[in-house]
Amino acid sequence: MSLTQIRPVAQHQSPPPTPGRAKLWLHRFDNKTIPYVLISPFFILFAVFGIFPIIFNGVVAARNWRLDDPDRTGWAGAGNFTRLLQDEDFWNALGNTFGIFILSSVPQLLMALILASLLNRKLRATTWWRIGVLLPYLTPVVASTLVFSVFFNRDSGMANWFLSLVGFGQETPLDWRAEKWSSWIAIATMVNWKWIGYNALLYLSAMQTIPKDVYEAAAVDGAGPWRQLWQITVPMIQPVVVFTVILSTIGGLQLFNEPMMFDENPQSASGGSDHQFQTIAQLIYKVGWKDLDMGYAAAMSWALFLIILIVAGVNTLLTKRIGGDR
């Protein structure tokens, strides 16, 4: 937006006189009530469809409810929650979730920024490039997880074939699912593959609205595209960056599909033979639908909710601090 488009501020400070009470009422309505009208569709929908599931979840978390033991009912109070503190599976899953989260979100967003900047040039065949990078996001989960499952196969997967090219794992091919570090990398790769294009598109749409004179005005001699990207472009799209940080935090901590599909026995939801890549969402699924302990699963999902709140809050503050508050 060019500065020349702003009209000079009018000299008179008060609005022109409003003739008649009807007009006055309309004006007040417009100012005071319309905002609430505009945001109401979301809240109405949420009140109808969102509140009950939350209450349901809350009530269930405070009760004993096991699908395989109909006799065990009644209020558990905080029992389900205190059980969490001593549950080593829970803490293990928490560690896994964080590990995978860091491995996926940080490189993902950085690469998305770089990719967006590449796309933000005068290019030939622009549409094709954009479609191309969005393909992972379009692909149904069932297809992409099969492909990666084969890719990370121990005996004949392509990942191990690549590794063998650089001399790795000649004697015994790497079993990606066997260790924490390898399974985390594999899952993070799947997640990054899916979401980089998506985030790049969000960044790109924001980058394209940066006014050109910002670049002209910020003349820094000898600066290459790298500096330009990090010193001018990224700070200018900070709100969208914050947005993606929050979203990828929420999504990353709730990671479910990829660990489920990476399991060699998907329906066991064990996250590996030693729970090496079991995320919290996966553990909640297992506790609720496999161990049939609904009360405990509900309590665990509240714990996850709390964790997401805290981490997303921290991440937001960090991002705002780094980007300079706006």
Partner 1 sequence: MERLGRRGFLTVAAALAATLVVSGCSGEKLEGDSSNNKGAGAVTLKVNFWGDMGLDQLKAKYEAAHPNVKIVLNSGEYNAQHEDLQKKLIAGSGVPDISAVDEGFIIQFRSQADKFVNYLDKGGAEFESRYLPWKWKQSLSTDGKQIGLGTDVGGLAIAYRTDLFQKAGLPTDREAVSKLWTTWDDFINVGKRYTEKTGKKFVDSGTNMFNPVLAQQPAGFYNEQEQLTMDGGPKVAFDTSIKAIQAGISANLVSFQPGWDQGFKKDQFAVLPCPAWMLGHIQKTAPDQKGKWDIATVPGGGGNWGGSFWTVPAAGKNVDAAVDFVKWLVQPEQQIEVFKTVGNLPSQPALYKDPAVLNFKHEFMNNAPTGQIFASTAENLKPQFLGKKNGPTRVAVENVITRVQQGKLKPEDAWAEAVKEAEKVAKSAQN
Partner 2 sequence: MTTFANRAPQDTPGSWKTYLGLTIALLVAAFPVYWMFVIATSTDAAVSQIPPSVIPGGEFLNNAREVFTLQQVYFAASLINSFIVASVTTAATLFFCSLAGFAFAKLRFRGRNALMVVVILTLTVPTQLGVVALYIVMGKLQWNGTLLAVIAPGLVSAFGVFYMRQFIAHAVPDELVESARIDGANTMRVYRSIILPAIRPALAVLGLLTFVMAWNEFQWPLIQLNGTEFPTSMVALSDLASGNYVIYRRVLAGAFLATVPLIVLLLAGGRQLVRGIMEGAVKS
Residue 209, interface with partner 2 (CB under 8 A)? yes
Choose which of 40, 69, 78, 123 interacts with partner 1 (CB under 8 A). Answer: 69
Q: How far is the CB of 317 from partner 1 (least distance, A)?
A: 36
Q: How far is the CB of 268 from partner 1 (least distance, A)?
A: 5
Residues with Cβ within 8 Å of 311's Cβ and at least 6 positions away in sequence, in order, are: 249, 253
At 190, which amino acid appears? M
- Supply φ then ψ for residue 16, to 5 degrees: -60, 150
Interacting residues with partner 1 between 140 and 169 (CB under 8 A): 146, 149-150, 153-157
* DSSP secondary structure letters along 15-59: PPPPPSHHHHHHHHIIIIIHHHHHHHHHHHHIIIIIHHHHHHHHH
Question: Which x/- pattern over 145-184 shows residues binding partner 2 (rule: CB under 8 A)?
Answer: -xxx-xx----x-x--x-----------------------
> Within 13 A of 311's CA, how many CA atoms are on the CB side?
22
Nearer to partner 1, 197 or 271 (CB): 271
Q: How far is the CB of 275 from partner 1 (least distance, A)?
A: 8
Strand partners, 63: 75
Q: How far is the CB of 273 from partner 1 (least distance, A)?
A: 4
Residue 11, interface with partner 1 (CB under 8 A)? no
- Give dist(CA 185, CA 181) in Å, integer: 6
Residue 67, interface with partner 1 (CB under 8 A)? yes
Count of positions on this chain that bind partner 2 (CB under 8 A)? 125
Interacting residues with partner 2 between 92 and 121 (CB under 8 A): 114-115, 117-121
Q: Which two tokens stand for residue 21?
A: 């009470």
Task: Name residue, tokens 């060019």.
Answer: 2
Residues with Cβ within 8 Å of 272's Cβ and at least 6 positions away in sequence, in order, are: 177, 178, 183, 263, 278
Residue 30, interface with partner 1 (CB under 8 A)? no
Choose which of 92, 176, 294, 296 interacts with partner 2 (CB under 8 A). Answer: 294
Interacting residues with partner 2 between 60 and 79 (CB under 8 A): 60
User: 182 touches which of partner 1, partner 2, none (CB within 5 to 8 A by kind)?
Assistant: none
User: 110 touches which of partner 2, partner 1, none (CB within 5 to 8 A by kind)?
Assistant: none
Residue 77, interface with partner 1 (CB under 8 A)? no
Residue 228, interface with partner 2 (CB under 8 A)? yes
- Give dist(CA 59, CA 57) in Å, integer: 6
Interacting residues with partner 2 between 17 and 36 (CB under 8 A): 26-27, 30-32, 34-36
User: 292 touches which of partner 1, partner 2, none (CB within 5 to 8 A by kind)?
Assistant: partner 1
End-to-end CA distance of the chain: 17
Residue 265, interface with partner 2 (CB under 8 A)? no
- Residue 96: which of 153, 176, 177, 181 has the closest Cα? 181
Is the separation of the CB atoms in 61 and 81 below 8 Å? yes
Residue 83, interface with partner 1 (CB under 8 A)? yes
Choose which of 100, 103, 174, 206 interacts with partner 2 (CB under 8 A). Answer: 206
Judging by beta carbons within 10 Å of its beta carbon (0-12, 13-18, 19+), is residue 177 exposed, middle or buried? buried
Residue 321, interface with partner 2 (CB under 8 A)? no
- Residue 61: which of 305, 297, 292, 286 has the closest Cα? 297
- Which residues contact partner 1 (rule: CB under 8 A)? 66-70, 79, 83, 146, 149-150, 153-157, 175, 178-179, 264-268, 270, 273-274, 289-293, 296
